[in-house]
């Protein structure tokens, strides 16, 4: 069965002391033996400090280079993230796709690099408002999946997490309705069943992201194909992030 994952994307926020403090409050608020898996994604420069201060917390990065170590000024390699103790990486977030021009082909190369390094990739997909209004949601999202996940072996796909994040819902307060989100999650799982196999599709976690808050999390997470949440704004305060973790607990599978 799929273990519920609640992931906090801190984006480019907080200073070093605040990052350590937030991690402390989150780590302190987690229940032992919870059926929910929790991970946080601080800015890269604070990974070391957060991991050192809270070794029990699952920590990942918000991006990584597709290249191995070498002459890539300003970049951070998968090996460097592993060296720090990071275990996961968010890839193809819509802010990187839109603001940094990251393509699905690039996301694909990063996904393969992350898998080869033993990192868990969380690969983000999602449509723009205009695309949804034009009835293109499934087409856009499935094309992002096809290209971003191209060439993965079944074993690699099973180590990958997908995050469906409608761009119009990110940071806007306009959360997708549970039915809207579930429809896309089901389409992604159906695509996985065809591209890999039904049993592989049944094992892969598909997170929802976009204005998830403590008061809307339970209903979203109760949907059959929603296996967790990728949380931005509400992950910056321990109370609201832990509120989402709590909301996930009743429906989580141990
Ligand atoms: P939000 O961000 O929760 O602030 O909408 C989600 C995300 O960007 O992953």
Whether the CA torsion 67, 68, 69, 70 is positive or negative: it is negative
- Out of 9, 88, 169, give the residue to mutate to test ligand 1, the one with the largest number of ligand atoms within 8 Å of its CB: 9
Residue 253 in any domain: the answer is no
Using 70 as the pLDDT threshold, list the residues of the chain that sit under it: 251-254
Task: Give the residue carrying structure tokens 């796709």.
Answer: 97
Nearest CA to ligand 1 atom 3: 232
Residue 181 in any domain: the answer is yes
Taking alpha carbons only, the member of 159, 177, 158, 176 closest to residue 167 is 176
In the 8-state DSSP scheme, what is residue 38?
A: E
Nearest CA to ligand 1 atom 6: 232
Three-class SS of 194-237: HHCCHHHHHHCCEEEECCCCHHHHHHHHCCCCCCEEEECHHHCC
Nearest CA to ligand 1 atom 9: 232
Residue 139 CA, chain-centre distance (Å), reads 21
Taking alpha carbons only, the member of 185, 168, 187, 178 closest to residue 222 is 178
Pair of tokens at residue 122: 């969380």
pTM of the model: 0.97
Which atom of ligand 1 is found nearest the CA of 211? 5
Neighbours of 151 (CB within 10 A): 9
Task: Give the residue carrying structure tokens 């996940």.
Answer: 149
Give the domain CATH number at 25.
Answer: 3.20.20.70
Residue 153 in any domain: the answer is yes
Kind of pairing between the strands at 120-125 and 161-164:
parallel
Total domains in the fold of the chain: 1
Could you read off the pLDDT of 16-55 as tens digits, one per residue?
A: 999 999 999 999 999 988 999 999 999 999 999 999 998 8
In the 8-state DSSP scheme, what is residue 139?
A: H
> Rounded to whole angstroms, how far apart are CA atoms 35 and 246?
10
Report pLDDT for 56: 86
Burial zone of 253 (CB within 10 Å; 0-12 exposed, 13-18 middle, 19+ buried): exposed
Q: Could you tell me which residues are beta bridge partners of residue 40?
A: 8, 59
Whether the CA torsion 126, 132, 134, 136 is positive or negative: it is positive
- Out of 40, 210, 213, 240, give the residue to mutate to test ligand 1, the one with the largest number of ligand atoms within 8 Å of its CB: 210
Any idea which residues carry the catalytic annotation? 93, 165
Question: Distance between terminal CA atoms of the chain?
Answer: 9
Residues with CB under 6 A from ligand 1: 9, 165, 170-171, 209-212, 230-234
Which atom of ligand 1 is found nearest the CA of 233? 4
Report pLDDT for 254: 46
Residue 254 in any domain: the answer is no
Domain of residue 72 covers: 5-248
Pair of tokens at residue 113: 């690099």
Report pLDDT for 250: 76
In the 8-state DSSP scheme, what is residue 92?
A: S
Report pLDDT for 253: 54
Residue 89 CA, chain-centre distance (Å), reads 8
Contact by Cβ (8 Å): 41, 14? no
> Rounded to whole angstroms, how far apart are CA atoms 143 and 174?
24
> In the chain, helix, strand, coil percent, each to 5?
45, 15, 40
Which atom of ligand 1 is found nearest the CA of 213? 3
């Amino acid at each position: 069965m799929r273990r519920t994952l609640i992931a906090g994307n801190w984006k480019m926020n907080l200073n070093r002391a605040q990052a350590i403090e937030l991690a402390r409050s989150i780590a302190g608020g987690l229940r032992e033996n919870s059926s929910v898996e929790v991970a946080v994604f601080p800015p890269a420069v604070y990974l070391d400090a957060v991991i050192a201060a809270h070794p029990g917390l699952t920590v990942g990065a918000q991006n990584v280079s597709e290249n191995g170590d070498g002459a890539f000024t300003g970049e951070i390699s998968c090996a460097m993230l592993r060296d720090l103790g990071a275990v996961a990486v968010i890839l193809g977030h819509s802010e990187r796709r839109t603001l940094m021009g990251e393509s699905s082909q690039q996301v694909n190369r990063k996904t393969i690099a992350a898998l080869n390094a033993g990192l868990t990739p969380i690969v983000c997909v999602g449509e723009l408002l205009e695309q949804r209004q034009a009835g293109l949601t499934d087409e856009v999202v499935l094309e992002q999946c096809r290209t971003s996940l191209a060439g993965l072996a079944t074993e690699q796909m099973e180590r990958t997490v997908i995050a469906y994040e409608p761009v119009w819902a990110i940071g806007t307060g306009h959360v997708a309705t549970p039915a809207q989100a579930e429809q896309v999650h089901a389409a992604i799982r159906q695509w996985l069943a065809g591209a890999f196999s039904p049993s592989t599709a049944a094992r892969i976690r598909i997170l929802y992201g976009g204005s998830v808050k403590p008061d809307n999390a339970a209903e979203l997470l109760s949907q059959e194909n929603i296996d967790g949440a990728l949380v931005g704004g509400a992950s910056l305060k321990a109370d609201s992030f832990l509120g989402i973790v709590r909301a996930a607990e009743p429906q989580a599978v141990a």
